[in-house]
Structure 1
Amino acid sequence: MQIVERQNLQDLTQTFESGKKRKLTLFTVKLTCDYCSGNCLFLWEVVNPAKIDSNSRYETTELIQVYPEPEPQPRRMSSDAPPLVREIFREAALAETSGAYRLAGVGYRAVVEQITKEQGATGNNLHARITSLAAQGVPQNIVDAFHEARVVGNDAVHDGLAYSSEEIADIAELINEAVFVLYVQPTQRARMAAARAARRQAAKASS
């Protein structure tokens, strides 16, 4: 990639809570690809640039591609979630990213169904299994979120109803929030507890 054009847009000052300040400069940068000769436009934020040339030193704080618009990336789930839950979520997210919102709705419903299995939920159908989670100590807002995902998936399967991109995104975010509470947060706390135990053990061994 070669820089073919650079334009200074604005000089900024960032103030931290400590009162310390630093100067930023915002550029637009046009680059040409050596392979395809296509052009890209980036918004480039730099700290304290005395001068910007091939020999200068600078710190990039942000680099955002604005043209061509980058391809949307499928949303991801934490690696602390069970593998099959992550796999189904990834497939649903791929459908969402491609604009297949009915399939995404069905996929996110399947994620919830897998989570209920992982949590040992009981019942003859998904509605009953989701509801049973409350008796296992799962917060009611998560139970409600899972029912939302269930209904959206059912609407897609039985009625061919396609929800909007924002509505499907909301379901995905609700699931990710639930996964944080059910899997990520407990795992993080277990790691911290293990780290504290290891520190105590090391301190006793050295004393």
Structure 2
Amino acid sequence: MCTEHRELQGTRVSNTEPSTAKFLMSLRCHWCNAESVFLRLGAMEVHQLSGARYTVSIATRELEQLWPKRTPRELAPEAPETIREVFSEGALAEAAGAFRLAGIGYRATVEQIVKERGAAGKNLYERITALKDLGASQEIVDAFHEARFVGNDAAHEALAYSAEEIADIAELIDEAVLVLYVQPAQRTQMAAQRAARRTSQKQAKPSGGA
């Protein structure tokens, strides 16, 4: 629920179409009643109704969380340490709003993953594509290519993607880590528990008569 939404004085730019302005926006959670504060860059369009009546629509261009400070993302502990460390560097950049650096960091995370998986190839494109031969799904291959595109654009073209676009890349990597590392570790743990239960059951049975 939005509890406050006000334009910040002196931030309106009217010589563009549509005009833009920055807004301070407070949102309150219906469930826990906690409040968050955001800085919103909005593009405003005026729609004439009749006579002197009109409405103004505001489309969000950028949204920055001011309070509480965003906690950087983390990968699951089942992922190898180096992969988690590289991802954390990208996540720190994302949380700070440095989206070019975040894109480069998430591309580097993909590079570490394909290296750890043993994918062969003379460049990152070939190594990502080779993951398919190692059992990775086409969805994971496509997700890693997306991260590669974003990192390349940030490093070589200085292209800045939006917060939502960078967040999507981070989530794609997180989902891939779930499939590649977390789920196999969980299955191994469950198999070990079943084996231990069988062993315990056998040991608990009374031995046969002499």
SS at match of 1:81: coil
CA distance in 2, matches of 1:79, 1:141: 22
CA distance in 1, matches of 2:121, 2:202: 49
Measure how far apart 1:129 and its partner are.
0.3
Question: Within 5 A, what are the aligned runs for 1:10-29?
Answer: none
Structure 2 residue aligned with 1:117, among 89, 97, 115?
A: 115
CA distance in 1, matches of 2:132, 2:114: 11
Structure 1 residue aligned with 2:128, among 127, 130, 150?
A: 130
SS at match of 2:34: strand
**C-alpha spacing 1:77/1:203, structure 2 compared with 1 (3 Å):** same
Q: What is the CA deviation profile of residues 186-205 of structure 1, one whole-angstrom value per residue up to 9, with x for unaligned ones?
A: 00111111011111111111
Q: What are the ranges of 5 or more consecutive residues in structure 1 without an aligned counterpart?
A: 1-41, 46-61
Identity of counterpart residues, as a percentage?
59
Instruction: Give the letter aligned to residue 204 of structure 1.
Output: K
CA distance in 2, matches of 1:63, 1:204: 53
TM-score normalised to structure 2 length: 0.68
CA distance in 2, matches of 1:141, 1:44: 35
CA distance in 2, matches of 1:112, 1:124: 15
Structure 2 residue aligned with 1:191, among 177, 189, 192?
A: 189
Instruction: Give the letter aligned to residue 86 of structure 2.
Output: I
Instruction: Give the letter aligned to residue 64 of structure 1.
Output: A
SS at match of 2:190: helix
CA distance in 2, matches of 1:158, 1:199: 55
SS at match of 2:147: helix
Match of 1:103 in 2: 101
Match of 1:93 in 2: 91
Match of 1:204 in 2: 202
Structure 1 residue aligned with 2:148, among 147, 150, 154?
A: 150
CA distance in 2, matches of 1:196, 1:117: 33
Match of 2:12 in 1: none
| Root mean square deviation, CA, Å | 1.8
CA distance in 1, matches of 2:81, 2:67: 32
CA distance in 2, matches of 1:122, 1:87: 23
Measure how far apart 1:69 and its partner are.
2.6
**C-alpha spacing 1:200/1:112, structure 2 compared with 1 (3 Å):** same
Q: What is the aligned length?
A: 151
Structure 2 residue aligned with 1:171, among 165, 169, 172?
A: 169
Q: What is the CA deviation profile of residues 5-64 of structure 1, one whole-angstrom value per residue up to 9, with x for unaligned ones?
A: xxxxxxxxxxxxxxxxxxxxxxxxxxxxxxxxxxxxx8796xxxxxxxxxxxxxxxx463
Match of 1:64 in 2: 34
Instruction: Give the letter aligned to residue 135 of structure 2.
Output: G
CA distance in 2, matches of 1:170, 1:189: 27
Q: What is the CA deviation profile of residues 141-170 of structure 1, one whole-angstrom value per residue up to 9, with x for unaligned ones?
A: 000000000010000111000100000000
Q: What are the ranges of 5 or more consecutive residues in structure 2 without an aligned counterpart?
A: 1-27, 38-65, 206-210
Instruction: Give the letter aligned to residue 193 of structure 2.
Output: A
TM-score normalised to structure 1 length: 0.69
CA distance in 1, matches of 2:122, 2:74: 30
Q: What is the CA deviation profile of residues 112-154 of structure 1, one whole-angstrom value per residue up to 9, with x for unaligned ones?
A: 0000011000000000000011111100000000000001000
